[in-house]
Structure 1
Amino acid sequence: MDDISTSALLIALAILIALSAYFSSSETGMMSINRYRLKHLQGEGHRGAKRVHKLLERPDRLIGLILIGNNLVNIAASAIATIICTRWFGEYWAVFATTIGLTIILLIFAEVTPKTLAALYPEKIAFPSSLILSPLLVVMYPLVAAINGITNGILALLRIKPSGDGGDSLSREELRTVVYEAGTMIPKKHQDMLVSILDLENVTAEDIMVPRSDIAAIDINDEWKDIQKKLTQSQHTRVLLYRDSIDDAVGFVHVRDALRLLSKDQFTKATLLRAVREIYYAPESIPLHTLMYQFQAEKERIALVVDEYGDIQGLVTLEDILEEIIGDFTTTTLPAYSKEVSVQQDGSVLVDGSANVRELNKEMDWNFPIEGPKTLNGLILEYLEEIPDSNVSLRLAGYPIEIIDINENMIKTVRVMPEFYKPVSVVTPD
């Protein structure tokens, strides 16, 4: 070493520091790269992505190779720096100067700077690095395999598998976070649709059904003229027929079938009953994604929802499920409130007591609890534990509410004042 000039040693030291920076940035770039984008690029035939993906199939080998290279160049740099410092400062100060000086240089130029750069631009670092790491792994495979054999044996004692398989799996909540973190890459409306699909498993038919009292149905025992009038004025393509009570449901009739009979002058009660289609029943606790699959398998679009005793509780359609995913079907792109909601000039909101709590939360961006009663009327009654009088005020889930109208033991109209909302974690009676 005495025959080698100091300038040559400085050049060698600079090269070793550059190699250390390369190994450090390669490690961070490889580990920071987006695995899902990597798979996408690999599917498109990107050569760099294919090389990186192959290296990441065995992260233990990749990390072993990088650390072997990094430690070799760092130790060599330390030896050369010691020689240089011995010439400059003498043997007494050489160790101290080498330790302090080389540590600072390696931290700045071989660790923090390259790793920060690689974390910010992982693809720009990982793809070119794979051109060197792939053949280097082949050349150094015996050494890497030997070291990995020892480290994998230690990991085996800890019951840890070195394979990277399964690390890319996402739970439903993690996937929800990925969707929202996509930002402008996915439009807000599309984000809401994707998240709604994920939530179908947590929403049941009971949550979105048309309540029994609101089902548009026709009593087949009514006067024939009344039946004709209701059919011709119906806003629905399918109408439920029943005898005296919805509990004695006959079936659904398609308005198209009724019009066909009318056009042939065959429109009578007898022919109408023959045109009735069989009723499809669904339990109120069935998740929406399961109900949607059943609709698809049975070629159905509408079902009556029954409770555990078989009593009819409501009605649900395929359109209701689709609206749960993509939002309400409207004929205008302008924002509009549902018929249960009326926003007042003072900022308060008049809400129908029969309004569905989940729909209110989605439409108004409120936070009423959805684990219990499905309607605002039921939620208030459960909270008060009695049927209140009109003009009674309360605070429910942080929202000031004034009961405006009560009729037939049901809360018909309430006033919600969201501007005075105070978040609460638990709702308990006063």
Structure 2
Amino acid sequence: MYVVWRAGNDGAKRIASRLGAHRRRGGDWVAVFFTLFAGRDILESVLPDVVGIVLCLLGSGLFSTTQTALNSLTESQARKLVEQKGSYALTMWRNTPDRVNSGLLIANTLSNLGAAALAAHGALILGGPYLTDPSRFGSLLAAAVATVAFLVLTFGEALPRTLGERRAQKVVAPMLTLTLPVQFLLSPLTFVFMGLSSALYHLIGEDEDAMEPSVTTEDLEHMLDQGSLEGSFGENGERLLRSVFEFSDTLVRELMVPRTDVVSLTIEMTFNEIIDELVNCGHSRLPVYEGSVDDVVGVFYAKDILSVIASGQADNFHLRDYMRRPYFVPEGKRVAQLLTEFQTERLHMAIVVDEFGGTSGVITLEDISEEIFGDIQDEYDVEPSQMVPIDDSHVRVDARTPIHEVEEFFGLELPDHPDYESLGGFLMSQVGGVPEPGHEVIWEGLRFRVLEADPKKVISVLIELINQSGDEPEQLVS
């Protein structure tokens, strides 16, 4: 500050004598005009400041562009650039990103501070004759600082950061290379800065290495939405990717075959009875229970029938001798975790139990695969479609259809509740019991009419899109 004051004071002394006559002849405005435009000494004095400000702006723009470009690169883009360009600067950044980013931040800050200091110095030279008039000198100093602040924000921050973000892959390598000399000069200051940062992290009890992931699930979902709008994925590709995102949050209870639909064997069944059951259901694995369905004691594989026949033990067959150990999982287990267990244990089926140990249903590897890839039909799958359009405004729906499939098909959001997972469960929750055939429930512009029901459950439902202002049906199926 002393140097700035001395420079401004010397400049003021050089021109003070020249201003006296002009003040007497033409007043203050003539003096100011002469000072700004006619004084060679003043122009020579402020020219280095102007050049310095321009250089500081260029440096600030370079550092801002480089820093923004580096932060805009994804992990895959960064690896690809290093492999393609083979740049020393990029390799150094990949190996020591904190050091490079800290160096750029320090260089950018010093550039901005330098521009501000030079602006103040120039204002002090130009305003030297007015040091005795605080209001005039203050106005001149404020104008100089405001002008430089505008230039820094525009050409040192806003425009360079926009360029760095939009052209990151094109500009990052050459610009990072240009910053290397400055980074080497500032390396001692960078190490001090990083040391202080590390000490501060330890002081507040934070782990400096515990960084948040650069790409979150929300980021991936946003990219998927953007790619879908731009047509980057095919229809099947988009559906598959969305299934993968939803898969991590899916629970076993959402995919399991419910207890009421499970085909099972009793421990007392004979060889011929088991063959008949396997032929009728077409399944390759069936749970075996003793006394009650809640007491599952094993799993029988259809392929074991061949070994019984080959060994001639059909007459002496006892199911207990051939069944496998059952694998039990809770309803609330995540399907992704169960899939890992299936792979580790080399299993294809698990028995789902509730919190009291009762049997809730079964889940198979095929159920999990269908959640990702869609329905997988084989020669034994002859189940009718769960949602059958009747006309443009009516759809017949199996009451066992999962809630999320109904929501996706009709584009609505039904209330979540831990007590049900199917359309039938939703209707029973709304009514407070098992609705009789003909009972209607209206929800968000849809009329749900129960077509079939028994004393225990709803079997089928007719869904109709109604006009919000009346009961006239609108088009539901295009």
Regarding TM over 0.5, the answer is yes
1:386 to 433, 448, 454: 433
Deviation at 1:166, TM superposition (A): 0.7
Q: Which has the larger radius of gyration?
A: 2
Aligned length: 414
Distance in 2 separating the partners of 1:164 and 1:43: 26
Cα 1:19–1:233 shift into 2, 3 Å: same
Partner of 2:257: 210
Contact 2:60–2:108, Cα closer than 8 Å, also in 1: no
1:25 to 65, 68, 71: 65
Deviation at 1:362, TM superposition (A): 4.8
Partner of 2:30: none
Partner of 1:368: 414
User: Deviation string for 1:165-190 (max 9, x for gaps)?
Assistant: 61435555555445545555666655
Contact 1:17–1:74, Cα closer than 8 Å, also in 2: no
The alignment yields a C-alpha RMSD, in angstroms, of: 4.4
Within 5 Å, give how 1:31-42 maps onto structure 2: 31-35=71-75, 37-38=77-78, 41-42=81-82
Distance in 2 separating the partners of 1:105 and 1:65: 17
- What SS class does the counterpart of residue 202 from structure 1 fall into? coil
Give 1:324's aligned amino acid. Answer: E
Partner of 2:321: 274
Give 2:109's aligned amino acid. Answer: L
Distance in 2 separating the partners of 1:157 and 1:224: 71
Cα 1:296–1:144 shift into 2, 3 Å: closer
Contact 1:212–1:314, Cα closer than 8 Å, also in 2: yes
Distance in 2 separating the partners of 1:222 and 1:144: 79
- What SS class does the counterpart of residue 282 from structure 2 fall into? coil
Give 2:93's aligned amino acid. Answer: V
Cα 1:286–1:109 shift into 2, 3 Å: closer
- What SS class does the counterpart of residue 357 from structure 2 fall into? coil
1:67 to 95, 109, 112: 109
- What SS class does the counterpart of residue 415 from structure 1 fall into? strand
User: Deviation string for 1:223-272 (max 9, x for gaps)?
Assistant: 76554333234422223344675345453322222144446654446165
Deviation at 1:131, TM superposition (A): 0.9
Cα 1:413–1:15 shift into 2, 3 Å: same
User: Deviation string for 1:191-218 (max 9, x for gaps)?
Assistant: 5545544544533322211111211234
Deviation at 1:393, TM superposition (A): 1.4
Cα 1:161–1:70 shift into 2, 3 Å: farther
Partner of 1:323: 370
Deviation at 1:320, TM superposition (A): 1.4
Deviation at 1:63, TM superposition (A): 0.5
- What SS class does the counterpart of residue 401 from structure 2 fall into? coil
Give % identity: 22
Partner of 1:52: 93
Distance in 2 separating the partners of 1:120 and 1:61: 23
Partner of 2:355: 308
- What SS class does the counterpart of residue 387 from structure 1 fall into? coil
Contact 2:398–2:459, Cα closer than 8 Å, also in 1: yes
Contact 1:393–1:402, Cα closer than 8 Å, also in 2: yes
Deviation at 1:304, TM superposition (A): 1.6
Contact 1:85–1:98, Cα closer than 8 Å, also in 2: no
Q: What stretches of structure 2 of length at least 5 have no aligned partner? A: 1-39, 129-135, 470-478
Contact 1:29–1:122, Cα closer than 8 Å, also in 2: yes
Q: What stretches of structure 1 of length at least 5 have no aligned partner? A: 423-430
Distance in 1 separating the partners of 2:195 and 2:277: 81
- Most deviating of 6-15 and 410-419: 6-15
Deviation at 1:26, TM superposition (A): 2.9
